[in-house]
């Protein structure tokens, strides 16, 4: 029997699709990923399903749309009855191991009230062994900085500084370098006689955008691309009431101290160019360290027995639409890189796929390529057809994503718009020309994004395009109808017992039920 393949799954947090340079001509230097792409398949129109990190990763790890997994915000529990990529690998005999984080909030229904996992939204996805967890507080990395002579720091002391100055640590001591060092040490200890599954979850280029030299000055701000946006924040705000509310909100969170408390109007062209250069430098650093991991797999003699997937959870606006971060429904927050290498699929090496693909497609693809069954819970479709060199019989003509913008503990955008928690959702169907946005408590949105990439004009009341509006609404309803929960619907009980297919409960949950 053929020995199972290894799996290397790498995610880089908050990484935009247009910050991947495969031909060496763009402003973002990613030579190691370009090298990988020549031996892999690159999906150039790949989109995540949700934002921020927790919901985005829930879709990636379960193969489900947000409206099905319902882990809608950071801190919303992930349903324990769902299987995950880690649980599926575990069932097949792997010991899936995590370096980094998954931002998975535990299901309180299956844990005692005193369980510490219920005190944090930075939990570990069920099924993963822990190689090293690196939460936001990043204590293991800070410990190494202290050991290497930088002094004892908190995460605020390390990162709460101007982004426009190089970090005080050497490049080899960055958070990215540290996590990759730890993962490589683990890989070196792995016996070559057993297949492995490694998930390396890198935090960069997520803010704070603090970079050490040479990455700090790696990209010239004058070479960065200008943002896609209306001429002014006021013009951008006219597109939709929700956009107006977002543009009225001051910046907060893990931003440069000089930006906190300011707003979109402060994102002048020079500031955006400098931010984009810093972000691109961190992408270049991520590229360098991903190259180190790929080299290590080659040195072990396992390159031709390892399935490699490199992607992100979600994107980043970088001044597009006068916004920073990922907390809005525009495509830059959902369009992410996706590079998949199966050494057996030589015909697909160097192939560029411009068909729409989604995060919900990745779990069925990974399992199928590893020769494992695909759970009925998966809403996506395997991308194997693109790896075999065959032409797909039918492809996607649109992609779908969602964002839940309900307020947290303090009143925010939802309160300003008079919306309750279950009214604070946005769903977008994005096609080659038209994008349709549906909002539970607000007017719909129809944009001709091919002619209006800044999304400045809502054409939902334009009689001339009423046919396009109806077609997009029907397509969104059809998508939701196709993706209804299928885990038990194909099963029927009979005198001979259950007939048809159904997804078994994860072993960890079944033990609780028993």
- Hey, which residues are catalytic here? 53
Quick one: which of 14, 8, 33 has its CA closest to 23? 33
- Buried b vs exposed e over 455-486: b needs ≥16 C-beta within 10 Å? bbebbeeeeebeebbeebeebbeebbeebeeb
Q: What is the biggest distance separating any 2 CA atoms in the chain, rounded to whole angstroms? A: 73
Q: CA-CA distance, 57 to 201, in Å (whole number)?
A: 11
What radius of gyration do the chain's Cα atoms show?
Answer: 22
Buried b (16+ CB within 10 A) or exposed e, 355-385: ebbbbbbbbbbbbbbbebebbbbbbbbbbbb
| CA gap 100, 12 in Å, rounded | 10
Is the CA virtual torsion 448, 454, 458, 463 positive or negative? negative
HSE (CB half, 13 Å, CA atoms) of 219? 27
- 8 A C-beta contact, residue 66 and residue 55: yes
Is 71 in a helix, a strand, or coil? coil
Describe the strand order of the beta sheet including 445-448 as a list of residue ranges.
Answer: 399-404, 425-430, 434-439, 445-448
Structure tokens at 207: 């803010």
- Which residue is associated with the tokens 């967890």? 133
The DSSP call for residue 406 is: -
Cα–Cα dist 150/158, whole Å: 10
Quote the tokens at residue 299: 């040195």
> For the chain, what's the residue count?
514
**Dist. CA 315–CA 45, nearest whole Å:** 13
Q: Are 15 and 283 in contact, with CB atoms under 8 Å apart? A: yes
Q: Scanning the structure block, which residue is given the tokens 């994008």?
A: 435
Integer Cα distance of 57 and 152 in angstroms: 32
């Amino acid at each position: 029997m053929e020995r199972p393949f290894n799996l290397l799954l790498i995610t880089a947090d908050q990484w935009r699709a247009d910050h991947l340079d495969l031909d060496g001509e763009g402003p973002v230097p990613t030579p190691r990923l370009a090298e990988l792409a020549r031996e892999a398949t690159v999906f150039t129109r790949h989109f995540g399903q949700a934002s921020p990190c927790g919901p985005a990763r829930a879709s990636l790890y379960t193969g489900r749309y947000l409206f099905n997994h319902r882990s809608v915000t950071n801190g919303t529990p992930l349903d324990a009855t769902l299987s995950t990529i880690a649980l599926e690998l575990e069932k097949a005999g792997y010991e899936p191991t995590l370096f980094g984080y998954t931002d998975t909030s535990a299901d309180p229904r299956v844990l005692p009230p005193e369980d510490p996992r219920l005190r944090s939204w930075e939990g570990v996805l069920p099924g993963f062994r822990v190689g090293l967890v690196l939460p936001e507080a990043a204590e293991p990395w800070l410990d190494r900085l202290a050991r290497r002579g930088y002094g004892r720091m908190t995460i605020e002391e390390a990162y709460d500084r101007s982004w426009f100055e190089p970090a005080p640590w050497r490049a080899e001591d960055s958070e990215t370098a540290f996590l990759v060092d730890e993962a490589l040490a683990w890989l070196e200890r792995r016996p070559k006689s057993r297949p492995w599954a490694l998930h390396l979850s890198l935090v960069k280029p997520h803010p704070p955008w603090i970079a050490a030299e040479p990455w700090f000055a790696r990209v010239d701000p004058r070479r960065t691309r200008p943002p896609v946006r209306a001429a002014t924040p006021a013009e951008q705000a006219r597109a939709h009431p929700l956009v107006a509310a977002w543009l009225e909100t001051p910046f907060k969170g893990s931003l440069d101290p000089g930006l906190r408390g300011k707003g979109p109007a402060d994102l002048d062209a020079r500031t955006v160019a400098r931010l984009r250069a810093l972000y691109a430098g961190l992408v270049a650093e991520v590229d360098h360290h991903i190259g180190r991991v790929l080299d290590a797999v080659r040195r072990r003699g396992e390159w031709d027995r390892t399935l490699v997937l490199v992607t992100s959870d979600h994107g980043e606006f970088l001044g597009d639409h006068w916004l920073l971060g990922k907390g809005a429904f525009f495509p830059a927050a959902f369009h992410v890189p996706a590079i998949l290498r199966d050494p057996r699929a030589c015909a697909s090496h160097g192939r560029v796929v411009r068909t729409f693909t989604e995060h919900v497609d990745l779990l069925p693809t990974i399992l199928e390529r590893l020769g494992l069954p695909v759970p009925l819970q998966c809403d996506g479709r395997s991308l194997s057809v693109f790896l075999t060199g065959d032409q797909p019989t039918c492809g996607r003509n649109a992609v779908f994503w969602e964002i839940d913008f309900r307020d947290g503990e303090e009143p925010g955008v939802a309160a300003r718009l008079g919306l309750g928690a279950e009214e604070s959702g946005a769903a977008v169907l994005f096609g080659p020309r038209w994008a349709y946005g549906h909002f539970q408590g607000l007017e719909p949105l129809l944009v001709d994004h091919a002619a209006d990439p800044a999304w400045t004009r809502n054409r939902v009341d334009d009689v001339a395009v009423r046919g396009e509006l109806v077609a997009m609404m029907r397509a969104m309803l059809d998508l939701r109808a196709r993706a209804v929960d299928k885990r038990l619907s194909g099963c029927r009980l009979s005198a001979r017992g259950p007939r048809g297919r159904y997804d078994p409960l994860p072993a960890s949950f079944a033990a609780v039920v028993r």
